[in-house]
Amino acid sequence: MNPTRIRELIVTPIAFRDPPLLNSNGVHEPLALRIILQLVLEDGTVGLGESPGGTARLERLQAAAKVVPGMDVFDTTAVAAAIDADLLPTVPSSHERGWTTSAVEVACLDAQGKLLGRPVSDLLGGAVRDAVPFAAYLFYKWAEHPALDGRVAIGDDWGEALDPAGIVQQARLMQQRYGFRSFKLKGGVFPPDEEIAAIKALAKAFPGHPLRLDPNTAWTVETSKYVARELDGVLEYLEDPAKGIEGMAAVAADSPLPLATNMCVIAWEHLKPAIEQNAIQVLLTDHHYWGGLRRTRELAAVCEAFGIALSMHSNSHLGISLAAMTHVAAAIPNLDHSCDTHYPWNSADDVVRPGILELRDGEVKVPTGPGLGVELDLDALDRLHRLYLDSGVRTRDDTGYMRRFDPTYELKLPRW
Ligand code: GKR
Ligand code: MG
């Protein structure tokens, strides 16, 4: 028996509750999808990973599960290369392949840390901070998922937020519950002047607190320039106002505000043109698609070299991802802004045991236990896997879900 050899990769798709959060694509469905990885070594050590869900990503992780048995858990470069080579013929996008290699790398690092008795942040060069700051992720939202197909409406304890007063109220709740000190508003939902008013209302209610706005490319270049002018001195940065590196570069040429992205620079080959065109001033890293935690650390060094500030992107996620985000953020010296997280919207359905990961004073303390420092709750995993099986939900479809309530709704980017 070789204790560092990978015996098996167990891939479990799950579904968990998600509130009706609005964005430029529509509205979140009642269930969000993730995939949980358990990488089992020959000595029984288990490393955990978490990936966004959906059939394509599930199939790729299932393919990876056939590739990794027999490999050494410390050979993360070889593990990633083997998975990448296996996917290459059918998945031409390096960004798409990155989602698979990243999730497996995190599980390898968790297992390595458990074998060594050291936290993952130590494997990334050591934590330079013992807590990582996160921003409150504000969304326009409905009070409830409306009744559909004979089922009752599903409410939550956040309430409705469809105007500036609703957004300020949501921000207050976020601050009361988690102590957040910075705020990000997901925009691209209402006409830009309404979202400008919401940001100005936040600035008035929370003077001195960093604010951001992210319309996910809902605006033209001209509209983006207008919003940037209106919010000069109010936002710390404006995130993905317009589409593509060229669109962002055209806005940046004329914007008094720094521009940030998690949409137009999402693979290594995007860095060169983005830097040449000065398209972005802030990069939102995301270990889920940049190749994992070590590659994210390398990405931070590239950003440092080119004077690009760093923040972190998030999607609906659970505790394994939050732990991984926290470890890598702790190990990046040049983390310039608080990280995004959807965790408050989804934490009630977590698959990790409570107690380790807590959002308090707007921060998560870096876990100090071996590996990621979190423990999988097998009962919760089983429950959420059955929810996945029974629900029939297999891909995220914010636009299709919106159309069930408003058949005239069209996905239009830019919309304004
Ligand atoms: O969850 O609606 C959402 C977000 O819009 C998410 O899908 C984005 O990936 O949060 C993300 C972002 O910053 O663009
Ligand atoms: Mg974004």
**φ/ψ (deg, to 5) at 74:** -85, -10
pLDDT value of position 65: 98
pLDDT value of position 118: 98
Query: Using CB atoms within 10 A of its CB, is residue 77 exposed (0-12), middle (13-18) or buried (19+)?
Result: exposed
Pairing between strand 183-186 and 211-214? parallel
Q: Cα 257 vs. chain centroid, distance in angstroms?
A: 23
Question: Which residues are CB-contacts of 366 (< 8 A; sequence separation ≥ 6)?
Answer: 119, 121, 127, 129, 130, 131, 132, 326, 327, 330
35, 155 in Cβ contact below 8 A?
no
- Residues shown for the chain: 416
Cα-to-centroid distance, 406 and ligand 2 (Å): 25
Ligand 1 atom 14: the closest Cα is on which residue? 216
pLDDT value of position 116: 98
Cα-to-centroid distance, 389 and ligand 1 (Å): 25
Which ranges in 220-368 belong to alpha helices (H)? Answer: 221-230, 244-252, 268-276, 293-305, 319-330, 343-346
* Ligand nearest, relative to CA of residue 135: 1
Which ranges in 317-394 belong to alpha helices (H)? Answer: 319-330, 343-346, 378-391
* Domains annotated on the chain, with CATH: 6-118+378-389 (3.30.390.10), 123-365 (3.20.20.120)
Ligand 1 atom 13: the closest Cα is on which residue? 313
Rg (CA), the chain: 21
Cα-to-centroid distance, 369 and ligand 1 (Å): 30
121, 96 in Cβ contact below 8 A?
no
Considering the candidates 186, 209, 317, 365, report the single residue annotated as catalytic. 186
Q: How many CA atoms lie within 13 A of 330 on its CB side?
A: 26
Walk along the chain (416 residues) and give the pLDDT tens digit of each residue: 899 999 999 999 999 999 999 999 999 999 999 999 999 999 999 999 999 999 999 999 999 999 999 999 999 999 999 999 999 999 999 999 999 999 999 999 999 999 999 999 999 999 999 999 999 999 999 999 999 888 899 999 999 999 999 999 999 999 999 999 999 999 999 999 999 999 999 999 999 999 999 999 999 999 999 999 999 999 999 999 999 999 999 999 999 999 999 999 999 999 999 999 999 999 999 999 999 999 999 999 999 999 999 999 999 999 999 999 999 999 999 999 999 999 999 999 999 999 999 999 999 999 999 999 999 999 999 999 999 999 999 999 999 999 999 999 999 999 99
* Ligand nearest, relative to CA of residue 188: 1
Ligand 1 atom 9: the closest Cα is on which residue? 315
12, 283 in Cβ contact below 8 A?
no
Cα-to-centroid distance, 317 and ligand 2 (Å): 15
Note if 313 is an active site residue.
Answer: yes
Crossing angle of helices 293-305 and 319-330, in 10° steps, is: 40
Note if 186 is an active site residue.
Answer: yes
pLDDT value of position 93: 95
Question: Pocket around ligand 1: residues whose beta carbon is below 6 Å from it?
Answer: 21, 23, 186, 214, 216, 262, 313-316, 340
Q: What angle do CA 100, 103, 107 make, to 5 degrees?
A: 135
Omega into 414 within 30° of 0, i.e. cis?
yes
Cα-to-centroid distance, 241 and ligand 2 (Å): 9
Distances (CA, A) of 322 to 206, 264, 269, 364, 379: 26, 23, 27, 9, 20
pLDDT value of position 151: 83
In sequence order, what are the beta bridge partners of 41? 6
Considering the candidates 145, 225, 313, 327, report the single residue annotated as catalytic. 313
Q: How many CB atoms lie within 10 A of CB 78?
A: 12
In eight-state DSSP terms, residue 182 is -
Ligand 1 atom 4: the closest Cα is on which residue? 315
